[in-house]
Amino acid sequence: MQDKIERVLISREEIQAKIAELGEQISKDYAGKNLQLICVLKGAVVFLADLMRQISVPVEIDFMAVSSYGADTKTSGIVRILKDLEGSIAHKHCLIVEDIIDSGLTLKYLKENLESRQPASVKIVTLLDKPERRRVNITPDYCGFTIPDEFVVGYGLDFAEQYRSLPDICVLAE
């Protein structure tokens, strides 16, 4: 598996430091509010686990699974909900926890879908953002790292279900 890794883009230490910063800012912004974290499976689960431990306000968590990639490195542009939320988000402050924003198609669809459910608010936190790949107008409210247009794996991100367990964010060799 390691022979397919070109290089480490973001180290585990950099990731943890950034998550601590994000948790502190989110805690300030949601002070006095209950927060519903909505984790986008599967990639964001590692980020969610570390992030929620850095947030000092009460949090509830729920999960959604959506797909626009399959086993490819490029989005198909067609978003499918594979697993929906278990509970209602009406009147709740929701924060979508995403691993990476690439084209933005999946996240735009997801945000609009959640906003139609009458939450108090819907914001986005992403660990990684690739703005040069954006095909729709969507911007995260909280962002860990802006990265170049390279295919990355590790820290929950995969290629064909491989590499999720790597502790660093790495560039996959072509």
Query: In tens digits, what is the pLDDT along the chain, a chain of 174 residues?
Result: 567 899 999 999 999 999 999 999 999 999 999 899 999 999 999 999 999 999 999 999 999 998 765 555 555 567 889 999 999 999 999 999 999 999 898 899 999 999 999 999 999 999 999 999 898 999 999 999 999 999 999 999 999 889 999 999 999 998
In CATH, the architecture of 13-150 is 3-Layer(aba) Sandwich (3.40)
Q: Among candidates 9, 2, 1, 3, which has minimal Cα distance to 171?
A: 9
Q: Among candidates 97, 75, 109, 77, which has minimal Cα distance to 142?
A: 97
Report how far residue 49's alpha carbon sits from residue 170's, in angstroms, rounded to the nearest whole number. 20
CB atoms within 10 A of CB 91: 10
In 22-167, which ranges are E strands? 35-41, 59-67, 80-83, 93-101, 121-129, 142-146, 152-153
Catalytic residue flag (residue 168):
no
What φ, ψ does residue 84 adopt, rounded to 5°? -100, 170
Catalytic residue among 29, 72, 102, 168: 102
